Amino acid sequence: MPSSSGNSKVNPDLVKERKKCTFNTLELTHLLDGGEDKTRERHSRENFFLEDPELRSEVPLEYLSHKEKYEEAVRKACILFRKVQELQNEGKGGMENFREILGGQLGSAILKDGNPLTLHYVMFIPTLMGQGTVNQQAEWIQRAWGCDIIGTYAQTELGHGTFIRGLETIASYDPQTEEFILHSPTITSYKWWPGGLGHSANYAVVVAQLHTQGKNHGIHPFIVQLRDEETHMPLPGIKIGEIGSKLGMNSTNNGYLGFEKVRIPRTNMLMKNSQVLPDGTYVKSPSSKLTYGTMIFVRVVLVQDAATYMKKACTIATRYSAVRHQSQIKVNEPEPQIMDFLTQQHKLFPNIAGCFAFQYAANWLWETYNNVTGELESGQLENLPELHAAACVLKAVSTADAAQGVETLRLSCGGHGYMTSSNLPSTYGLVTAMCTYEGENTVLLLQTARFLLKVWQNKQNLQKLPTVSYLENAFRNNSSFQKSVQWIIGALQKTTVGKIDLANKHINDRVRNGMAYEDAWNSTSIELVGLAELHGRVIIVETFRISVEKCRNQVSRELFAVLEQLLQLYAVNTALRCCGDLLKYTDMQGKDVEVLQAWLEELLNQLRPNAVGIVDAFDFRDEVISSALGSYDGNVYERLLEEAQKSPLNAEPVNKSFKSYLKPFMKSQL
Ligand SMILES: CCCCCCCC/C=C\CCCCCCCCCCCCCCCC(=O)SCCNC(=O)CCNC(=O)[C@H](O)C(C)(C)COP(=O)(O)OP(=O)(O)OC[C@H]1O[C@@H](n2cnc3c(N)ncnc32)[C@H](O)[C@@H]1OP(=O)(O)O
Ligand SMILES: Cc1cc2nc3c(=O)[nH]c(=O)nc-3n(C[C@H](O)[C@H](O)[C@H](O)COP(=O)(O)OP(=O)(O)OC[C@H]3O[C@@H](n4cnc5c(N)ncnc54)[C@H](O)[C@@H]3O)c2cc1C
């Protein structure tokens, strides 16, 4: 079934491409969705949301003012959330709804520049669930779930985003009244960034330094009412507003917030993990890092979202590359489809392979997250550090690759990729933000490096840790070069171990030479970031390999062949990206790099006939793609012209500036 929503005539180049496809695209769609039933359910959700006329906009977003964009976004967000509640009430809810309507699948199709209410579901409710006691959940979750109150997650401040132990907002306990007093002592202690904080939310989880009985116990989460529930006016002592225009996400209403001695009841501290008793006694959490739980959750879901945005951008650029003709390969021959240029295939196909790699990594991480959080519920904390390390590195690698990939795909569309109507600029705006929020990527890679060095130094428990068990044996892997995925994975593992060992040695050398450990860490941190990233790539390629292998007897031979090609392309492209390291740490030689390069070119050729089929199988409706370049019918030029007509400047043949400025200027004599 085509993903097109219109009845327009399909561009002949795309017709030709679809005829060439060697596998059944529907089979791939079902595989990616997790089964035919899941595809049907997704289609039904898409119809439910996308066919609601109220969720369409009269005027393209880019021609609205900042204020109008926000107002239109709130209008749509309310309809969207009401519809989600309807689905929940009918028992058709579940995680898939939230993933789609808040993320890149449907969310960014309906609210192209972000949703001002996203944080309510993505962080406010998950924090209540993860950090609240049973009583607190009973009190707050129902109200939040029904959207009687709208919340956000206010952690970052003007002065600190990364180093959250350095947050300055203070919550000091007053046992006389059994209240906390929230205060912002400095300008840098103002909360800055929370989504929806500006003018949408009336409650927030505020992360603040807890002071009781004269002692600072570090950061803790508190539920704070910000605005009157009827009038929406800021409550006394609350200084609140929006932070202003940004590179992208201009509808998300990111806000600032200061407190002037605002009092909240003691019971508004989220006390599942640590408590303050009525007399002010502090009861410690089993692990101070349990406060960071919501951040792990969001990092985990972002990996899937990175894959979704990549799929969208790949669909746009691949369809466009099939219909766009330019230049000549041979004189006197017609201008080829730009997809026939090898360099164009090199821009497109490794990114298409990346979509699969990140989707499989996201599936694995989600399952791991659920297992480990289940263990945490029963007080078992043993696997938390490994989950944290895996979530950090996979979030960092997937979002960085997605941002780079979307930009490469935008460039692959030449000038038309620069048009807002291609939907690639705003997709880039959404994806590049992911590299910063929920933990800046370099910082997250350093967290993973910290974990890796620790397990490398201790070594004894390696076999118990699935993501790092390879460290034990990879050093001894002396297999000589082979043109195989298995060899590449072994080589990446051996390289990671070599880099960990060397970085560890450099830290130790520096310490031996008199440096403090922390300074030695900083001096070695370029190496640390590199080894963490490579470890992430080991997880991704290995998960991709296992996932494809599992399909061997489940899918047709034709589809399996394509999945294998995608896996091989992802692996060989990864190997070539880090071939300097592979040459250094494995037995690979210069001539082997040539073999890898030739293999990459061979795979690009093999995938060429199926490129459009693969992106068709991602099965985005035109409304979701939302691009003049990427529609199912490929009528690019008609759509570009149609979109241009929507420019307000084209509403009149002569603009008034002609009379006011241009004409007097042109007629003036100096
Ligand atoms: C039916 C279903 C119902 C479901 C209902 C829910 C609804 C569903 C919702 C969603 C569905 C999916 C939606 C998908 C769509 C997604 C769209 C997303 C849009 C998002 C919009 C924007 C969101 C952005 C929000 C933010 O940015 S919030 C702010 C985030 N801030 C950060 O991330 C700050 C980064 N900094 C840190 O994390 C830390 O400060 C630090 C860098 C880790 C350092 O901390 P610290 O100094 O304390 O640590 P260290 O001293 O370095 O280390 C100490 C030890 O602690 C370990 N550690 C650190 N962090 C953690 C952790 N998180 N967990 C565990 N352990 C941790 C560290 O490893 C050290 O260990 P050691 O043993 O070595 O000592
Ligand atoms: C679109 C968007 C939405 C957001 N939404 C929210 C929200 O809803 N709620 C919320 O609380 N926050 C939110 N944030 C804030 C976000 O979480 C922070 O911006 C992020 O954690 C990075 O912190 P920072 O801005 O302080 O960057 P900084 O930490 O100042 O980073 C600047 C540079 O310093 C480097 N650096 C910092 N520390 C280290 C280190 N230890 N080692 C090496 N290098 C380091 C970084 O790598 C980076 O290059 C949002 C941000 C954005 C962009």
User: Tens digits of per-residue pLDDT, 42-79?
Assistant: 999 999 999 999 999 888 899 999 999 999 999 999 99
Is 438 considered catalytic here? yes
The ipTM is: 0.98
Gap from CA of 103 to ligand 2 centroid (Å)? 21
Residue 8 reports pLDDT greater than 80:
no
Per-residue HEC secondary structure of 527-563 comes to: HHHHHHHHHHHHHHHHHHHHHHHHHCCCCCHHHHHHH
Residue 479 reports pLDDT greater than 90:
no
pLDDT for res 668: 86
For residue 37, count CB atoms less than 10 angstroms from its CB and return exposed for 0-12, middle for 13-18, buried for 19 or more: exposed
Between CA 653 and CA 640 the distance in angstroms is 19
The tokens for 665 are 């200027």
Instruction: State what percent of residues in the chain have pLDDT above 90.
Output: 92
The model's pLDDT over 238-253, given as tens digits with 9 standing for 90+, comes to 999 999 999 999 999 9
When pLDDT is cut at 50, 70 and 90, the band that residue 473 belongs to is confident
Ligand 1 pocket check for 195: Cβ under 6 Å = yes
Instruction: Give nearest CA residue, ligand 1 atom 25.
Output: 438
Nearest to 420 by CA among 57, 62, 114: 62
| Residues 285-299: b if buried by 16+ CB within 10 A, e if exposed | beeeebbbbbbbbbb
Gap from CA of 161 to ligand 2 centroid (Å)? 4
Ligand 1 pocket check for 301: Cβ under 6 Å = yes
Ligand 2 pocket check for 189: Cβ under 6 Å = no
pLDDT for res 3: 46
Count of positions (residues) in the chain? 670
Instruction: Give nearest CA residue, ligand 1 atom 4.
Output: 95
pLDDT for res 94: 83
Ligand 2 pocket check for 162: Cβ under 6 Å = yes
Give 597-645 as a DSSP string. HHHHHHHHHHHGGGHHHHHHHT---HHHH--TTT-TT--HHHHHHHHHT
Between CA 628 and CA 634 the distance in angstroms is 8
The tokens for 552 are 């061997």
Q: What are phi and psi of 483, to 5 degrees?
A: -85, 75
pLDDT for res 206: 98
Residue 2 reports pLDDT greater than 50:
no
Nearest to 290 by CA among 130, 408, 432: 130
Q: How far is CA 69 from CA 97, 107, 122, 611, 614, in A?
A: 24, 15, 22, 36, 35
Instruction: Give nearest CA residue, ligand 2 atom 25.
Output: 161
| Residues 448-474: b if buried by 16+ CB within 10 A, e if exposed | bbbbbbebbeeeeeeeebebbebbeeb
Contact call for residues 587 and 481 (beta carbons, < 8 A):
yes
For residue 204, give the 3-state DSSP assignment. strand
**CATH domain 150-293 topology:** Butyryl-CoA Dehydrogenase, subunit A; domain 2 (2.40.110)
Angle formed at CA 113 by CA 148 and CA 75, multiple of 5 degrees: 35
Gap from CA of 206 to ligand 1 centroid (Å)? 15
- Fold agreement between 1-33+294-637 and 150-293: no
Ligand 1: atom nearest CA of 293 is: 63
Q: How far is CA 485 from CA 255, 300, 492, 613, in A?
A: 47, 26, 10, 24
Closest ligand (CA of 253): 2
Average pLDDT over residues 633-648: 97
Ligand 2 pocket check for 198: Cβ under 6 Å = no
Average pLDDT over residues 172-192: 98
The model's pLDDT over 558-594, given as tens digits with 9 standing for 90+, comes to 999 999 999 999 999 999 999 999 999 999 999 999 9
Nearest to 625 by CA among 249, 418, 317, 301: 317
Contact call for residues 547 and 31 (beta carbons, < 8 A):
no
Write the CB contacts of 520 (distance below 8 Å, at least 6 apart in sequence): 506, 507, 508, 510, 511
Q: How many CB atoms lie within 10 A of CB 363?
A: 16
The model's pLDDT over 17-33, given as tens digits with 9 standing for 90+, comes to 999 999 999 999 999 99
Ligand 2 pocket check for 188: Cβ under 6 Å = no
| Best residue among 193, 392, 444 to mutate for probing ligand 2, ranked by most atoms within 8 Å of CB | 193
Contact call for residues 240 and 257 (beta carbons, < 8 A):
yes
The model's pLDDT over 491-503, given as tens digits with 9 standing for 90+, comes to 999 999 999 999 9
Name the binding residues for FAD: 156, 195
Ligand 2: atom nearest CA of 439 is: 21
Single-letter amino acid, residue 629:
L
The tokens for 266 are 């003691």
Between CA 73 and CA 86 the distance in angstroms is 20
Name the binding residues: 156, 195
Closest ligand (CA of 207): 2
Ligand 2 pocket check for 190: Cβ under 6 Å = no
> What residue ranges do the domains of the chain occupy?
1-33+294-637, 150-293
pTM, whole model, 2 decimals?
0.97
Contact call for residues 351 and 409 (beta carbons, < 8 A):
yes
Between CA 658 and CA 656 the distance in angstroms is 5
When pLDDT is cut at 50, 70 and 90, the band that residue 1 belongs to is very low
Nearest to 493 by CA among 546, 441, 531: 531
Using DSSP bridges, classify how beta strands 203-212 and 151-154 pair: parallel, antiparallel or unpaired: parallel
Between CA 368 and CA 386 the distance in angstroms is 10
Gap from CA of 401 to ligand 2 centroid (Å)? 18
pLDDT for res 670: 66
Closest ligand (CA of 399): 1
Gap from CA of 163 to ligand 2 centroid (Å)? 9
Nearest to 456 by CA among 491, 498, 518, 490: 498
Contact call for residues 188 and 168 (beta carbons, < 8 A):
yes
DSSP state letter for 418: G
Ligand 2 pocket check for 153: Cβ under 6 Å = yes
Tell me the β-bridge partners of 275. 283
Exactly one of 17, 386, 438, 564 is catalytic; which is it?
A: 438
Q: What are phi and psi of 429, to 5 degrees?
A: -60, -40
* Mean pLDDT across the chain: 96
The model's pLDDT over 366-385, given as tens digits with 9 standing for 90+, comes to 999 999 999 998 899 999 99
Ligand 2: atom nearest CA of 246 is: 1
DSSP state letter for 191: E
Angle formed at CA 180 by CA 176 and CA 185, multiple of 5 degrees: 120
**CATH domain 1-33+294-637 topology:** Butyryl-CoA Dehydrogenase, subunit A; domain 3 (1.20.140)
Alpha helices by DSSP H, listed for 114-193, are 118-119, 125-131, 134-145
